[in-house]
Structures are given as C-alpha cells and as structure tokens.
Amino acid sequence: MYANRLEADPARYSLVNGFWFTTGRVIAPSELSVGSHSLATELRDAAGNILTASNVTFVIDPSGVGACV
C-alpha cells in the first residue's frame, strides 16, 4: 500500500488549504477477472460533503487477446 499527502490547488474548490490522501495496493492478476470494471472516486471536504465525483470504466482482456498479446 502507499499513501501520500500532497498540497492540491485549494482555490479550485474554494478552500483555504487543500490536501489529499490516496491508498491502494498492487494485486495479483488472479484477483481481477477478465471483463469490464469500474473505478469510482470522490473528493470530500472535512465535513464529508462530496465536492466532485468521477467514474472510470476499464477492461481486462484475456491472455493472448487485445492488449495481452
């Protein structure tokens, strides 16, 4: 896992100070099945209000097909 605390552009969200915290991990190929997957993110203020949200869809190809040739 990794984490970072970096200063963002606070004015973009009408904030005095802006920081973010990110976590994640490296996974084995067997942990993510072939097919379409979605990743969702939310930016929240200190009170927990959602300031912005985004979704990304990505596809895992089977071995020997598409990007896995």
Mean pLDDT to the nearest integer, 20-26: 74
Helix, strand and coil content of the chain, in percent to the nearest 5, comes to 15, 40, 45
The number of distinct structural domains making up the chain is 1
More confident: 28 or 13: 28
Which structural domain, as residue segments, surrounds residue 13? 5-68
pLDDT of residue 1: 37
What is the pLDDT of the chain when averaged over all its residues? Answer: 75
Token pair 């963002």 in the structure block, residue: 8
pLDDT of residue 4: 43
Q: What is the pTM of this model?
A: 0.50
More confident: 51 or 21: 51
